[in-house]
Structure 1
């Protein structure tokens, strides 16, 4: 049951992500939620502990996944023809 849930969640997260940053955020959330559910369930022995662990782990994983995403740098020209860098 848990494996099916994780696979479905991962598939939905992968389809919903458009940019590399969003993909890393979604992947971090899925991994964090899975790990949190396992740890919360093992620590408490209850479904409520697993749900709380999944919520906390998912939020933490999303934050970490987003923070570790490398920024994309694009180059362009300003109005004077100078080369400038900007975030894409």
Structure 2
């Protein structure tokens, strides 16, 4: 049951937060970072932050790569700002 709750939470979080940038690479990278952070936090609550970070990072990177800036846009990534 914990695994299903964790996976559902990570998936919804990643889809809701991914990603910043205009290129597929930027969006995958930022989505992965956001997903890993959210997954680690959720995993910490459920007892396994490492697995949570890995699952969240993978889902976030996938969501970031599969969406475009017209669907979800969190702005310019930190590494692209001057």
2:25 matched residue in structure 1? 22
Q: Across the two proteins, how many residue pairs are aligned to each other? A: 48
Q: How does 1:32-71 map to 2 (within 5 A)?
A: 32-44=35-47, 49-69=48-68
Q: CA deviation at 1:52?
A: 0.3
**Aligned-pair Cα RMSD in Å:** 1.3
Structure that is richer in strand per residue: 1
- Secondary structure at 1:54 match in 2: helix
Q: CA offsets per residue over residues 2-24 of structure 1, 9 Å max, x none?
A: xxxxxxxxxxxxxxxxx711000
5+ residue gaps in structure 2? 1-21, 70-82
5+ residue gaps in structure 1? 1-18, 71-88
Displacement over 2 Å in runs of 4+: none
- The two structures have a TM-score, normalised by structure 2, of 0.55
- The two structures have a TM-score, normalised by structure 1, of 0.51
